Structure 1
Amino acid sequence: MKNSIQLEFGDVRVKSIETPNHFVSHMLEHIAWRLGVTIALKWQDCNWRELGVRLGTSIGEFPAQCEDSAAIGMIDDGSASVTVQLQKDPASKPIVESVTWSARGEVDLEWFFSLRCEQIENGQPLIALFEGIISGLGGKCSVVIWNLEDPHHTWEGIFRGLGIALSRIFTPLPANSIAVTGDSAKPHARSGDLAVLCASVHEASVQRKTAETAITGTV
């Protein structure tokens, strides 16, 4: 099996991710989902930085809508903010230190990096993967870890934040209608007085009706 990565804007439920580590695959899934792409990825070795470089290079082949972005990734008790800035001139000298890591509050960064997470003995493989992605993009990134209880959730917050930030740079607005294909043909989801009017990679709209009013919220 040769290492291969294929990305295409489309239905995010169309995915095939095969790596030697389930948690690494899960982090890649976070990025693909928020980027709004289908993904077919096969990776047979544990060179996580090279995997990241290849993935970042593939993402960088999409036309950029802007040069920088920032996002907060949160899940349960884990949260982190991620800022991404592309290099304006790809032909210029590569950025040596592409990612800076920091922590706030009571989070000890080195202790966090030393913690086991699922099938991974410590955070180094995930650091290598993350930094490889930014290197492949030819950009730089700042990660701030805000909260840590379960390292699983904090790492999810980090990669979720990266995926959201990258979507704001690369995902074209037309992907709004193809992120989850088929849903538009179905009746809007409804629970009691609440109805989901639309939900996509860029936008979600919910409406609550009463006998006298209809209030719609869009984010």
Structure 2
Amino acid sequence: MRILYLLAGFALFLKMLFTSSTIAEIEELSIMETIIQDSGVTNSVSGVIFRNRLYDTIFEVVVFTIAIVGAGFLLSNETPTQIVYQFTDQPSVVLARLGATIAALVAIELAIRGHLSPGGGFAAGVAGGTAIALVAITSPWEMLEDIYQKWHVAIIEKVSVLVFILLALFTLIGWELPYGQLGSLASGGIIPFLNILVALKVCLGSWAVILLFIRYRGLL
């Protein structure tokens, strides 16, 4: 059988090597330009994520939500740790908080302008989660917990998911906002709002997971 497999592989190699590939003659058409025209945003990646494959993006957001709920469920029966490992030396604290500030500003920029330039909701959420993580390893975790409870972050996270799904469903059935002028901040119809909602969801979900791992593992 090995000989047959080798012969079949060698024959396939010869076919690829000596068979000329024919390219169908089609009209000149840029896929990128088509996506930009269909979505109304200059960032074609955002156009694909929030329009061409929006159905997939809905379930990506749902899967992320389930992962957060699952982390809380798996750790709920464990005893909270008494020791939390953090940076205490001043240079590390200053650098971490500086990095948190930069990451937070990047997150806001990517969330607001993700439909115009490289980036988008998922990248913005990751940047925001990174900012929170950098604060967590240099500050008392009780402070983050108090802020999380005071501002009802868990409720905001769940509401952002529901609003995202509703807006996505409206888009899928054909209800869209005016695209506006291509390249402007108010362009792309519903896509900028979906971008911001995804950024909010990923950032706040990361916050919840960070608190869980600090509480039950003592470190990130």
**Given the two structures, how large is their TM-score scaled by the length of structure 2?**
0.27
Instruction: State the structure with more CA Rg.
Output: 2
Structure having greater relative contact order (Cα 8 Å, sep ≥ 6): 2
* More strand as a share of residues: 1
